[in-house]
């Protein structure tokens, strides 16, 4: 009997929801129940009733409920106080915490006439609607069949909440916050080596320009890069908590950029910000995204033999022409991923110095402005392998070589494409 009564309510509850959505403003406190109906004031409806409801259409199967649609309507939900424990509806926030639960009629249950003109309840899978009072913090609705003890489905309420708040930004349960990416900066070493990675650090600052706050924000970063590079990770996400109105926060992400082929490459990092919660409306979309680009010269790694004939490579302070051989190598030789022919070096491009100075594009030119092609000694300091290597000389006074110097490097370009090459060898500074 109790089910019967409830069924009658549910059978009309959509119509009821709409019809009863307007609540009499003249509540019992102000309506004189004993007034003469001929002269009593007409009840006035409260058109300003702020109550709202989720109306969720579901396609119910025997053990499932698939979302057909979810909307927010500016009308009061019917009360679930008398509903039987058929469905258990739970509204959860974006963190998965339960905000509210209530029993609800299961739309699958309907009454059927028996042959003896009695009635029985039978379950008919099909379309049905669940109505719940609006909650701006609600992210999902879990629909559980209490009779069978199974979860039928989870409804994503966020699109409905967001659509409502976009349309009604002044609603008490909606928040307005103009989030913006105010700056992005990426730093990377200017030189990379084919087969190796460089680390790029990206700083992005996001701000809440108001008018409301604090709000949680999600910062997403995506990467696009020249062909011949691999960037990991390909994207990054940062959560920014409780960004107060007028405040900003900087997030930092690191990426590994590997050079797969030689040449000048660019890597672009695009940062975007969005509210974490569906009831937050960012009305200004033009400031939600910002990009920054770094250039990396992917150099061909080469093998450099300082002081051919010596494994120790002693270099004296003030040495005026330190010899070193840029070895011509096959792919794979000395672990170099690509072949290198020293005959293709552009002599004017050669710069020699410490690693940091050469990576930064400084260093000194070859003393004679030439590349001396000779079959130099290999790294074992005893073998001539028969091909011609590029012997270079550096003025140690100009570098300058210091007591603390442990390594010399060479950088230059080669071939018609002016591809950069780079190689280093250790030295031992002697009196």
CB of 162 to Ca ion, least distance (A): 15
Cβ 128 to Ca ion shortest distance, Å:
39
- Least distance (Å) between residue 311 CB and Ca ion: 6
Give the binding-site size for Ca ion (rule: CB under 5 A).
Answer: 15
Beta-carbon-side half-sphere exposure of residue 300 (alpha carbons within 13 Å): 27
Degrees to nearest 5, angle at CA 358 with 352 and 360: 155
Tell which phi-psi region holds residue 363, choosing left (phi > 0), alpha (psi between -120 and 50) or beta.
left
Closest to Ca ion by CB, 274 or 338 = 274
Structure tokens, 79: 């009360």
Residues contacting residue 221 through CB under 8 Å, at least 6 positions apart = 202, 204, 235, 236, 237, 238, 253, 269, 270, 271, 272
Q: Does 385 bind Ca ion (CB under 5 A)?
A: yes
Closest CB 136 distance from Ca ion, rounded Å: 20
| Binder of Ca ion out of 145, 171, 282, 319 (CB under 5 A) | 282
Among 83, 178, 297, 366, binds Ca ion (CB under 5 A): 178
The partner residues of 235 in beta bridges, in order of sequence, read 222
173 binding Ca ion? (CB under 5 A): no
Let me know if 220 is exposed, middle or buried by CB neighbors in 10 A (0-12, 13-18, 19+). Answer: middle
Q: To the nearest whole angstrom, how small is the minimum distance from the Cβ of residue 327 to Ca ion?
A: 6
Site membership for Ca ion, residue 287 (CB under 5 A) = yes
Q: Which stretch binds Ca ion (CB under 5 A): 142-150, 181-189, 278-286, 355-363?
A: 278-286
**Residue 284 sits in the site that holds Ca ion (CB under 5 A):** yes
CB of 394 to Ca ion, least distance (A): 14
Q: Quick check: 235 and 259 in contact, CB under 8 A? A: no
Report if residue 305 touches Ca ion, rule: CB under 5 A. Answer: yes
- Residue among 65, 389, 391, 419 that touches Ca ion (CB under 5 A): 389
User: Is 261 an interacting residue with respect to Ca ion (CB under 5 A)?
Assistant: no
Nearer to Ca ion among residue 288 and residue 349 (C-beta): 288
Q: Using CB under 5 A, which of 212, 260, 387, 407 touches Ca ion?
A: 387
Residue 10 or 281 with smaller CB distance to Ca ion: 281
Preceding peptide of 214 cis, ω within 30°? yes
Which CB atom, from 33 or from 382, has the smaller least distance to Ca ion? 382
Interacting stretch for Ca ion, rule CB under 5 A, among 93-101, 292-300, 344-352, 375-383?
375-383
Is position 315 an interface residue for Ca ion (rule: CB under 5 A)?
A: no
Of residues 375, 407, 415, 429, which one binds Ca ion by CB under 5 A?
A: 375
Ranked by CB distance to Ca ion, the top (closest) residue is 284
Shortest distance (Å) from residue 420 CB to Ca ion = 22
Span of 23-31, 78-86, 94-102, 308-316 interacting with Ca ion by CB under 5 A: 308-316
- Distance in Å, CB of 206 to Ca ion, minimum: 10
Task: Tell the smallest beta-carbon distance from residue 307 to Ca ion (Å).
Answer: 5
| β-pair type (280-281, 175-187) | parallel
Minimum CB distance to Ca ion smaller for 205 or for 313: 313
- The stretch near Ca ion (CB under 5 A) out of 5-13, 85-93, 113-121, 281-289 is 281-289
Residue placing its CB nearer to Ca ion in the complex, 144 or 290: 290
- Considering the complex, what minimum distance in angstroms separates the CB of residue 275 from Ca ion? 9
- Position 213 contacts Ca ion (CB under 5 A): no
Give least dist CB 77 to Ca ion, A: 33
CB hemisphere CA count around 370 (13 angstroms): 6
Q: Does 64 bind Ca ion (CB under 5 A)?
A: no
Do the Cβ atoms of 106 and 150 come closer than 8 Å?
no
Could you give the CA distance from residue 350 to residue 289 in angstroms, rounded to a whole number?
41
Cα 415 to Cα 231: distance, rounded to the nearest angstrom = 27
Which chain residues interact with Ca ion by CB under 5 A? 178-180, 282, 284, 287-288, 305, 307, 310, 313, 375, 385, 387, 389
């Amino acid at each position: 009997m109790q089910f019967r009564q409830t069924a009658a309510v549910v059978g009309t509850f959509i119509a009821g929801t709409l019809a009863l959505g307007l609540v009499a403003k003249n509540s019992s406190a102000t309506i004189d129940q004993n007034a003469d109906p001929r002269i009593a004031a007409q009840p006035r409806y409260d058109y300003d009733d702020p109550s709202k409801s989720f109306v969720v259409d579901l396609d119910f199967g025997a053990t499932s409920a698939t979302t057909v649609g979810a909307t927010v309507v500016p009308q009061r939900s019917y009360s679930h106080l008398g509903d039987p424990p058929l469905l258990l509806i739970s509204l959860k926030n974006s963190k998965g915490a339960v905000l509210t639960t209530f029993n609800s009629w299961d739309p699958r249950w309907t009454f059927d006439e028996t042959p003896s003109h009695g009635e029985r309840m039978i379950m008919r899978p099909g379309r049905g609607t669940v109505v719940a009072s609006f909650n701006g913090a609600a992210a999902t609705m879990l629909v559980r069949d209490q009779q069978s003890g199974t979860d039928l489905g989870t409804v994503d309420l966020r699109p409905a909440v967001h659509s409502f708040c976009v349309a009604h930004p002044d609603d008490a349960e909606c928040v307005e916050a103009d989030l913006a990416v105010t700056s992005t900066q990426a730093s990377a070493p200017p030189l990379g080596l084919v087969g190796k990675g460089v680390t790029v650090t990206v700083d992005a600052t996001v701000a809440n320009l108001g008018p409301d706050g604090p709000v949680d924000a999600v910062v997403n970063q995506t990467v696009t890069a020249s062909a011949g590079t691999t960037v990991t990770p390909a994207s990054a996400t940062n959560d920014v908590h409780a960004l107060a109105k007028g405040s900003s926060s900087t997030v930092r992400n690191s990426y590994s950029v590997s050079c797969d082929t030689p040449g000048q490459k660019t890597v672009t990092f695009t940062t975007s910000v969005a509210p974490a919660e569906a009831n937050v409306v960012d009305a200004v979309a033009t400031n939600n995204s910002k990009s920054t680009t770094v250039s990396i010269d992917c150099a061909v790694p080469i093998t450099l033999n300082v002081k051919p004939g010596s494994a120790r490579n002693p270099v004296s302070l003030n040495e005026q022409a330190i010899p070193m051989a840029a070895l011509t190598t096959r792919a794979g030789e000395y672990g170099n991923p690509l072949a290198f022919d020293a005959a293709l070096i552009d002599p004017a491009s050669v710069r020699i110095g410490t690693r940091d100075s050469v990576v930064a594009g400084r260093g000194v030119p070859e003393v004679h402005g030439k590349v001396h092609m000779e079959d130099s000694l290999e790294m074992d300091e005893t073998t001539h392998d028969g091909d011609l290597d590029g012997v270079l000389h550096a003025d140690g006074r100009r570098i300058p070589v210091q007591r603390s110097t442990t390594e010399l490097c060479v950088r230059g370009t080669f071939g018609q494409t002016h591809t950069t090459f780079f190689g280093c060898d250790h030295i031992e500074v002697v009196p």
